[in-house]
Amino acid sequence: MPKGKDIKELLKPLAEKPIQAYFGQGLHTLGLLHWILAQTGRASVFVSSYSTSEPFLNGFYLLRQKELVEKGMLLLDERAARKTVQLEHLMTGAFDNVFLGQNHSKVLLVHNHQWKVSVVTSQNQTYGNRAESTIVTTDGDVYEQLLKQMEYSIVERSVEIDIAHGTGIITESGAAGAPAADTARDWEPFGLES
């Protein structure tokens, strides 16, 4: 597992540059999220990925323990469900809501009363030595667009894992051809303006 680079050498502070990109090795999703939260302060975080890992969940849990994450939501691909279920105990402390759907995106959305930060990356929530690409932006329109499309994917094409009660999937979706259950909107997306 290669050690990540100092993000300050790779990216400028969010307030200085509203859009920036990186291509290469050493910029890992969890370190990037910590760097963002150090600038934004306590925020809600929405994460999408194909799958997740024990190191990422442990790190996200530690960010919550430091009170840097107000609310956490996770969208993973249903094909990774077997691995996801094995990590269910870790997700309980890290995320408020976990959804499974047809997802290959790798996106971080960070929001509080001052900031709307979007990250689109090629990297899964793992550590490796391959080159990855990442774009970070504080553009509010980009944030709103990504959030609306992710909300649609969750409501219409995903199921929720009931991590709080350990009872498995609780929310049926349109993904299987059935209408969304009444509970499909019980979770509240953050930062979505009506």
SS (H, E, C) 65-109: HCCCEEEEEEEEEHHHHHHHHHCHHHHHHHCCEEEEECCCCCEEE
- pLDDT given for residue 77 in this prediction: 86
User: What own/partner pairs with CB < 8 Å and gap ≥ 24 does 104-107 have?
Assistant: 104/50, 104/77, 105/48, 105/49, 105/75, 105/150, 106/29, 106/48, 106/49, 106/50, 107/46, 107/47, 107/48, 107/146, 107/150
pTM above 0.75, yes or no: yes
Q: For position 27, which CATH number holds?
A: 3.30.870.10
Question: By residue range, what is the domain housing residue 115?
Answer: 17-124+139-169
Does the pLDDT at position 83 exceed 60?
Answer: yes
pLDDT in tens, 93-110: 899 988 888 888 999 999
Ranges 86-90, 152-156, 168-172: which has the least confidence: 168-172
- pLDDT given for residue 84 in this prediction: 63
User: What own/partner pairs with CB < 8 Å and gap ≥ 24 does 175-180 have?
Assistant: 175/78, 175/101, 175/102, 180/155, 180/156
SS3 (DSSP) at 174: helix
Q: How much is the average pLDDT of 73-78? A: 88
Q: What is the amino acid identity at position 77?
A: D
pLDDT in tens, 135-169: 999 999 999 999 999 998 888 888 887 755 555 55
Higher-scoring residue by pLDDT: 184, 63: 63
Percent residues over pLDDT 90 in the chain: 44
Q: Report how many domains make up the chain.
A: 1
Q: CA of 120: how far to CAs of 1, 111, 163, in Å?
A: 22, 15, 26
- pLDDT given for residue 139 in this prediction: 98
Q: How many CB atoms lie within 10 A of CB 142?
A: 18
Please check whether residue 8 lies inside any domain of the structure: no
Higher-scoring residue by pLDDT: 168, 47: 47
Higher-scoring residue by pLDDT: 125, 123: 123
Q: How far is CA 144 from the centre of its chain?
A: 15
Please check whether residue 156 lies inside any domain of the structure: yes
- pLDDT given for residue 85 in this prediction: 64
Q: What is the amino acid identity at position 30?
A: L
Please check whether residue 165 lies inside any domain of the structure: yes
Please check whether residue 193 lies inside any domain of the structure: no
Please check whether residue 107 lies inside any domain of the structure: yes
The residue among 177, 173, 180, 179 whose CA lies nearest residue 157 is 173
